[in-house]
Each structure stands twice: as C-alpha cells, then as structure tokens.
Amino acid sequence: MAEPEGLLDIDNLSVSFRTPRGDLQALRNVSLKMGKGEIVGVIGESGCGKSTLINSIIGLLPANTCALSGHIRFAGEDIVGMADRDLRRLRGERITTIFQDPMTALNPVLSIGTQMTAIQYRRNSSPREKQRRTVEFLEKVRMPDAEKRLGQYPHQFSGGMRQRICIAMALLTEPDLLIADEPTTALDATLEVQVIRLLRELQRDIGCSVLFISHHLGAVAELCERVAIMYAGEVVEQGSVRDIFRDPRHPYTRKLLECDPGRILELRAVMPTIGGDLPDLVHIPKGCIFRERCPDRFERCSERPPVETIRAGHRAACHKARELANP
C-alpha cells in the first residue's frame, strides 16, 4: 500500500531518560509516517514507548529527558528542537490529544462549559459563539441535553460520557492530527465499540489524521488503515492492517496475534502469553531486541536485524522476515 501525502514523518527518533541506574533508552530509531486523513494504529504492550512517542510528538517530554535525536516533521516543520512557544502553538490547534483515563482527564473544579470554552482561547469569537460551538460539538458526540449540562462538573458524568466530552474537546480545535492515547482502555466493552465508531465518524467529518495508540488489537483492526507494532522502544513491524493481521512477519507480531483473545477460537484452560520479560532498557542487549523471548531465534539474532521491506509499506525488523510467511 502506497503511503499518501505526508502529514507526520517521524524519522529515526530516539529518546532517553536519565534514571538513577543510568540512561533509559525509551525510544530507539523509531520511524513512522502518516498521511493526511489517515488513521494509523500503534500497538504495543505497557512500557514499549507508546506514551514517550506521543509526548515527543506533542513536545511534552518529562524533565528527565536527557537525549532526543532524529526528526519529527509535522507538516514540514521539525518538532524536535522547536521552541516551547511554537510547540504550544501546535498543541490544541493542529495537534490534539485524547488521553487514556477519562475519569481523571478533566479538571474536577471547573465546569465542562468552562473547560471547553477555555481551550478555544485562540479563536477570535465572542464567548457566546464559543459556547454555541461547545454545544454543537457536545451534540456531535451525542451528549443528551448538551446545553443544560454545560454548567455541570466532571464528577456528574459517567466514564463514557467523560470520554465523549474529551473527544468533543479535541474536535473543537479542528486539528490536523488527533492523537488518541488508549482512549478506550478505561471503558467497558460496549462503550469501547461506541467510542471507536464515534471516532471514525467524526474523523470522516473533520478529515483529520488519527494516531490511535492501543493495546487492543481488535480496536485497531476496526478503526485503522495502517498499523505499527512497537516492542521495547522500537517499531518492529509496520504495514497495512490487512498485511499485519493476515501476514505478520515479525515473531513478536505473530506472538501478539496468537495472544489476542478475539482470535482464539478453541476453548483453552490457560490463555497464551509471551514468555519472558521486557529487556532492561538501561543496559540494552546487543542484537535483536526481541531475541530473548523469540521462538524463532537463531545465531544471527545476536546481530541487529535489518528492516526488511516485505511489500510496499510493509516492513519488519527481523532476519527471518522473508521466511516467516503464513502458509
């Protein structure tokens, strides 16, 4: 699948954090491209660097970040090394983020209306007009009695409603890029489906690109066109949803898909897992990062694997990428 006109181009991004044990290399040589209007999923288990990736894109890395290299080009401008002022101009204007836990994402002492009006501070419109837009977007996310509820506080809404408020807030800014950081993880299954449908519908409406971070394979398959698989701070495989789910080439992707409860057909007493633990990111082992846990490892795995292109847009970082085809 050809990559459409670029909006976000992450090129060889590496990020390290200073810790008492030494520098923790949270992201290493991550490259990922996103086109305009495209929905890209990023899948990975906890600690694989998903949040660091988001924080790098929105320029909100923690204070103990000690090394940042590579490029994040957003609409032609490099975010890496950009002044705080310019970064802040991008945030909430061209790049907006929805976070994981809707229960804590909203300010508890400010009313919904206040918070949703506050984020429109860049618009040169009257408070009345801002409020009208707020109501309009709350209605778009199907908030009943939107106008009456403007004066209410976050604790008066349920989790699903709060996440819809967050989505409405994000869309109010009409971003070019919407980053959804596990927006459905804290919600129960029925709400999850609702939120994903809503996201897709609104994405069509506004035409923004969406970077959808999740560890829920089904949600990614449902929503995204392309997907990147992350493991221990590296993108190990990326490609179209179809390629990744039907013909995964990296052993980690293959194990991950085996573990997806949605794809397990027969009844089992024990759910499959990937044995072993994440490698220590302070003392990175040489060679392939997945080697210790890989069922297909062989002697060459002690060398760093090349990124093999399987087909247009489908790449995997494994020595055996060409061999590991599904029958």
Partner 1 sequence: MLAYALKRTGLAVIITAISLILLISMIQFIPGDPAAVLLGPLASPEMRELFKQQMGLDQPAIIQIARFFGRVLTGDLGTDVLTNRSVLITVVEQLPYTLALIATSIGWSALLGIPLGCFAAVYRGSLADRIVGVLSVSSIALPSFVVAVYGLLLFSVRLGWFPTIGAGDTGAPLDQLYHLVLPSLAVGLGWVGYLARMVRASMLEVLSENHIRLARAFGLQERTITYQYALKIAIIPTIVILGMGVGNMISSAVFAEIVFARPGVGRLIFDAISTRNYPVVMGAVMITTGFYVLCTLAADLIAAGLDPRVRSAL
The site for partner 1 (CB under 8 A) is made up of: 58, 60, 63, 88-93, 96-97, 99, 101, 104-111, 118-119, 121-122, 153, 155-156, 166, 169, 173
Report CA dihedral (104, 108, 111, 116) to the nearest 10 degrees: -40
The residue with tokens 């419109």 is: 125
The tokens describing 40, both together, are 């890209």
Q: State the nearest-atom distance from the C-beta of 224 to partner 1, in Å.
A: 21
Question: C-beta of 130: minimal distance to partner 1 in Å?
Answer: 14
Shortest spacing between CB 138 and partner 1, in angstroms: 16
Strands (E), the chain: 6-19, 22-35, 39-43, 65-74, 77-78, 95-98, 177-181, 209-214, 226-231, 234-240, 307-311, 314-317
In the bound state with partner 1, the residue whose beta carbon lies nearer, of 90 and 161, is 90
7 vs 288 by CB, closer to partner 1? 7
Exposed, middle or buried: residue 134 (CB in 10 Å: 0-12, 13-18, 19+)?
buried
Please, which residue, 93 or 247, has the CB nearer to partner 1?
93
Alpha helices in the chain (DSSP H): 50-57, 84-90, 102-105, 112-118, 127-140, 146-149, 159-172, 189-206, 217-223, 241-246, 251-259
CA 276 remoteness from chain centre: 25
Minimum distance from residue 60 beta carbon to partner 1 (Å): 6
Nearer to partner 1, 210 or 244 (CB): 210
**How many Å apart are CA 96 and CA 202, to the nearest integer?**
14
> Which residue's CB is nearer to partner 1, number 176 or number 237?
176
How far apart are CB 113 and partner 1 at their closest, in Å?
Answer: 13
Minimal distance, residue 115 CB to partner 1, in Å = 8
Least distance in angstroms from the C-beta of 263 to partner 1: 32
CA dihedral 238, 27, 9, 164 (to 10 degrees): 80
Cα–chain center distance at 275? 25
Task: Please identify, using beta-carbon distances, which residue of 114 and 131 lies nearer to partner 1.
Answer: 114
Closer CB to partner 1, residue 93 or residue 308? 93
Q: How far apart are CA 40 and CA 227, in angstroms?
A: 5
Nearer to partner 1, 19 or 107 (CB): 107
Report strand pairing: 234-240 vs 307-311: unpaired
| Shortest Å, Cβ 62 to partner 1 | 10
